[in-house]
Amino acid sequence: MQTDLAAAGPAVHGSIAGARLTIDLGALAANYRALAARSAPAETAAVVKADAYGLGIAHAVPALWSAGCRTFFVAYPAEGLAVRTAAPGARVFVLSGPMNEKAAGIIAGAGLIPVLNTAEDITLWRRAAGGPAALHVDTGMNRLGVSESEAAAFAAENTGDAAIPLTLVMSHLACADDPGHPLNRQQIESFQRVEALFEGIDSSLANSAGIMIGGDFRCTLTRAGIALYGGRAVNAGDNPMLPVVTAEAHILQVRRVPAGGVVGYGAAAKLERDTVVAIAATGYADGYHRSASGAGVPLRGVAAQGACGFLAGKRVPVVGRVSMDLTAFDITDCTKNIVPGDRIELFGANIPLDEVAEAAGTIGYELLTGLGRRYERVYVGGSGG
């Protein structure tokens, strides 16, 4: 067991933190192997942008490397440098491209591979560095990438001495979380026309949800993100991945509030029964979203089921509004005597990450990447991959 985190700033020791994240690197490695099996015969890359979805590049990347991962994707060059340090032999793609002359020099110097998203990127990279690069082609999402016709023009003109050695052609799916969406078919047809322009070059289309769709979507390289970290990739059905992150908060106070009493800001929760309330050391500054308060914070008129924690074998609902550092839970139904210093699970093996995200009106991706820096971080299961 290892407690620390160089990559996310100063380490926070458990005795002085309000809440703890336990990150199971063994589960991360197992998820990688499961996704690699689904992707085969394609290679599976790990997407480790945003500090490995909040888990910490310095720990996640070596664990993924031990599990057999050799290719990584990041969003920005600075993240690429962190991967280079964590896994010196890795192939690292930078999704946001060369960005500017200075960044292009740094990318080239560190042996990172930029993803060229625009005609300007192509010109810049050729002028500034000219080494290996990937080409991103937009196939209908209208986010990043050159158009199909720009890709065709590039394929025709990228010859001779000034040619950029292209190592990958890629695109990104807009609706893979909804496997029946017609845009998936349209995007793969577009991408197959693109692949034909760049024969013999690696191709990549699938994110986690695309891996779940499988078949032709796999191409020769898949890009797994959220599923590695235990999040749900496809909207419907069971999530087959192991949970990787457990968040637990210290209980600071247990109080008995008679029926008719109120809890928290705005007196938003009015109690209908005599209630035992546990005040836990977590809040929206820890990425435990205020919008997970349920009825206390109406979110765009959507439904108002709040989040639940897990304590002594019971699901216990948030009561009242989540505040910056504190959240109240209704623990009346716990039969075990709960005392300050006990820990309540916010999400993990018992409360799925995506359930809390949904209660907050968001997705597991946003919950993970917004957890913040106040947690004690404990890494387990890290040796031997």
Ligand X SMILES: *Cc1c(COP(=O)(O)O)cnc(C)c1O
Binding residues for ligand X (CB under 6 A):
47, 49, 95, 172, 207-209, 223-227, 233
110 neighbors 91 (Cβ within 8 angstroms):
no
Closer Cβ to ligand X, 187 or 208, answer by number: 208
Burial of 109 (0-12, 13-18, 19+ CB in 10 A): exposed
Could you confirm whether 265 is annotated as catalytic? yes
CB of 67 to ligand X, least distance (A): 16
Catalytic residue among 53, 76, 265, 270: 265
Residue nearest to ligand X (CB): 225
Closer Cβ to ligand X, 224 or 277, answer by number: 224
Closer Cβ to ligand X, 145 or 283, answer by number: 145
CB of 95 to ligand X, least distance (A): 5
Closer Cβ to ligand X, 227 or 331, answer by number: 227
363 neighbors 352 (Cβ within 8 angstroms):
no
Structure tokens at 339: 């005392």
Closer Cβ to ligand X, 38 or 172, answer by number: 172
Rounded Cα–Cα distance for residues 52 and 44 (Å): 16
Rounded Cα–Cα distance for residues 374 and 128 (Å): 40
CB of 115 to ligand X, least distance (A): 8
CB of 308 to ligand X, least distance (A): 25
CB of 209 to ligand X, least distance (A): 6
Q: In 232-385, at which residue ranges do the beta strands (DSSP E only) sit? A: 245-257, 262-263, 269-270, 275-280, 308-311, 314-317, 327-330, 343-347, 376-380
Rounded Cα–Cα distance for residues 327 and 7 (Å): 28
Catalytic residue among 32, 49, 229, 379: 49
Rounded Cα–Cα distance for residues 140 and 96 (Å): 18
| Residues marked as catalytic | 49, 265
